[in-house]
Amino acid sequence: YKKISELSTLCGCEILFIIFSPKGKPYSFAHPSIEAVTKRFLNPNQPLHETTDAPVETYRKVRIKSLVQDYNEVHDQLDASKEKQKAFSLAQQSRGSESHHWWKTPIYQLNPRELHEREKHFAEFINLVSVARDKKIASISSMHDAMDEDVAFVVPPRYGPSLP
């Protein structure tokens, strides 16, 4: 009975279940009622709303509307993704079959302005690397200082076998 009740609730369907015991005693379960289901069974052309509970039908309509809305949103996202992919493919094709990167262009093919810009970009890059290196060294150094204060023994500066 529990499974049949759950099925009718989850699916929003009309159910009539009749079972007979070995001694011939009938047991039944119906949703929304025995009369409504038998009336619907005897007259299959009868509109659904006349026999189904109004809350179940309302829930079904709201759920269907929500699912259609979710589907449309996902479909729109898929279309947008396809458009982006198409634009990306066109951009790749316009570049040619081989991907060209600024660092792969031979220096002798650059004009003086491009060489100056390249030099400026490399200088900025080297400066960023130097700053990152200095911060890392300072961080490691401060960690070692803190360890030396907390630890009673001295850590050897070199690990591994000693070389003569």
- Scanning the structure block, which residue is given the tokens 């198409």? 86
Task: Give the confidence band of 75 by pLDDT, cuts at 50, 70, 90.
Answer: very high
- Six-digit token pair at 64? 């269907």
Report the distance separating Cα 157 and Cα 137, nearest Å.
16
The most confident of 32-36, 38-42, 92-96, 116-120, by mean pLDDT: 116-120
Domain residues for 134? Answer: 110-141
Question: What's the rounded mean pLDDT across residues 79-87?
Answer: 88
> Tell me: the pLDDT tens digits for 92-124?
766 654 445 666 778 888 888 888 888 888 899
* Domain count along the chain: 3
* Amino acid 140: pLDDT: 82
15: CATH? 3.40.1810.10
Q: Is residue 67 part of a domain?
A: yes
Do 36 and 2 fall into the same domain?
yes
Do 37 and 56 fall into the same domain?
no
- Scanning the structure block, which residue is given the tokens 């309302």? 58
Report the distance separating Cα 87 and Cα 98, nearest Å.
17
Neighbours of 40 (CB within 10 A): 19
Where helices occur in the chain by DSSP H, the ranges are: 2-11, 34-42, 54-95, 112-150
> Tell me: the pLDDT tens digits for 120-145?
888 998 999 999 999 888 888 776 66
Q: Is residue 82 part of a domain?
A: yes
